[in-house]
Amino acid sequence: MILWTVLMVVLFVAMIAGMVYLITRIRKFTFIKKLAGGSRKKATLLSTAVITGVVAFFWLLWGFINAVIILLHLIVFWLVSEGIFSLVRKKRGGEFQRYYAGVVVVLFTIGYLGAGWYQAHHVWEKTYTITTDKKVGNFRAALISDSHTGTTFHGKGFAEHLKEIEKQNPDVLLVAGDFVDDDTTKEDMIRCCEALGQVKTTYGVYYVFGNHDKGYYSPDYRGYSGDDLVAELEANGVHVLQDENELIDDRIYIVGRRDRSEEAKQGRVDMGTLTADLDDSHFSIVMDHQPCDYEAQAASGVDLVVSGHTHGGQLFPLMQFENLMALGGDDKVYGYEKRENTNFIVTSGISDWAIKFKTGCRSEYVLIDIQGEA
């Protein structure tokens, strides 16, 4: 907590310093100089108005956090651009007539974050293949997480994504939490539950809660409670697992854990107890929204653990930074890992949440092909 507080303070100071820096850069544009009539004071005021206007526009459009993200990218890219053009000026032995460093950085930032917006709002397919000597034959699990319905798509869009997943002929669909959040309307929640009930798989849809699904605020805020959500899911034939397991076709266990966020309120069963009665000859898949219990999960001997929650780090280089510093308390931010005999997969999620960009990853659904003995 102290480390995060320090980081937030450093980030705030850097942002203020960065805004001052941007003001000094923007006043170098030719159109600012002309409008200021050669007055440095007027140029500074105009530059301040430009950067304030940009921040205010995106704050109103996408919220404070996205305005800050855009601002921070501008600052970093501008510093890099100035450094590169400084070297170019030295090599050519003179100044440019126009402020090309500023033009390049503005265009690059628009392109870079535009690509990040596209990667957050479009969904790709990601495939993993896992082999085992257990008698499971060929089994395909589809995995989605972190739809946060109402962010990049509503109920209709969610149903369309499920139709694409259905075309891949999965044996099961695993929903690994943060299906909805506090801003998901009741109408969207019901439509999405209906879509889960309509998707065609061999053995059905399995669901675990994330840290957002039950809501952080009073049920009055969004019009339904966590219990209402469970009732709607189960009414549509979805298997809701809360520290429970089910055996599919006498060959594969689906184990669903309560989210880590529920430990303080009502606790959750530890991995050893949760898997104590499982038959080791059967393949086991654990659904755990947050990828934060790898040591215990590997020790329990389960075959596969699937998670979401991290959004793949969302922005470059957060994935690399979090993996290096272990700031989020997650064992992995994205992708595949194997510890002992346990396979771990973390998906970047099928949508986003508060942040409108994914520059370090893409929105995705996951296909996991399990190949075992016949």
- Angle between helices 186-198 and 226-235 in degrees, nearest 10: 30
Q: pLDDT, tens digit, for every residue of 42-70?
A: 999 999 999 999 999 999 999 999 999 99
Question: Is the domain of 92 the same as that of 192?
Answer: no
pLDDT band at 324 (very low <50, low <70, confident <90, very high): low
Dist CA 205 CA 196 (whole Å):
7
Q: pLDDT, tens digit, for every residue of 353-372?
A: 889 999 999 999 999 999 99
Least confident of 107-116, 211-220, 287-296: 211-220
Residue 302 structural domain:
124-371
What average pLDDT is seen over the chain?
Answer: 93
* Residue keyed to tokens 């033009």: 103
**What pLDDT is stored for residue 298 in this prediction?**
97
**What pLDDT is stored for residue 1 in this prediction?**
54
Tokens of 47: 């530059």
Q: Which residues contact 144 (CB under 8 A, 6 or more apart)?
A: 161, 165, 173, 174, 175, 176, 347, 349, 350, 365, 366
**What pLDDT is stored for residue 89 in this prediction?**
84
From residue 265, how far is each of 134, 197, 222 by CA, in Å?
37, 30, 21
**What pLDDT is stored for residue 4 in this prediction?**
60
**What pLDDT is stored for residue 328 in this prediction?**
61
Specify the higher pLDDT residue, 193 or 1: 193
Question: Is the domain of 129 the same as that of 217?
Answer: yes
**What pLDDT is stored for residue 116 in this prediction?**
97
Q: pLDDT, tens digit, for every residue of 161-173?
A: 999 999 999 999 9
**What pLDDT is stored for residue 10 in this prediction?**
81
From residue 147, how far is each of 123, 137, 355 by CA, in Å?
11, 30, 13
Average pLDDT over residues 219-224: 94
Q: pLDDT, tens digit, for every residue of 13-24?
A: 888 899 999 999
Question: Is the domain of 324 the same as that of 216?
Answer: yes
Question: Is the domain of 285 the same as that of 336?
Answer: yes
Tokens of 141: 């699990």
Question: Is the domain of 100 the same as that of 155?
Answer: no
**What pLDDT is stored for residue 11 in this prediction?**
78
Specify the higher pLDDT residue, 120 or 325: 120
pLDDT band at 260 (very low <50, low <70, confident <90, very high): very high
Average pLDDT over residues 76-85: 94
- Residue 279 reports pLDDT greater than 90: yes
Are the CB atoms for 323 and 294 separated by under 8 Å?
no
Q: How many domains does the chain have?
A: 2
Tokens of 84: 């590169």
Q: What region does 365 belong to: left with phi over 0, alpha with psi -120 to 50, or beta?
A: beta
Q: Which residues contact 230 (CB under 8 A, 6 or more apart)?
A: 240
Tokens of 250: 């006498």
pLDDT band at 265 (very low <50, low <70, confident <90, very high): confident
From residue 368, how far is each of 214, 265, 371 by CA, in Å?
27, 33, 10
Where a domain ends, among 77, 100, 119? 119
CATH label of the domain that carries residue 166: 3.60.21.10
Question: Is the domain of 154 the same as that of 221?
Answer: yes
3-state SS class at 301: coil
Are the CB atoms for 222 and 214 separated by under 8 Å?
no
Q: Full-prediction pTM beyond 0.95? A: no
* Antiparallel, parallel or unpaired: β 172-175 and 363-371: unpaired
Dist CA 358 CA 374 (whole Å):
40
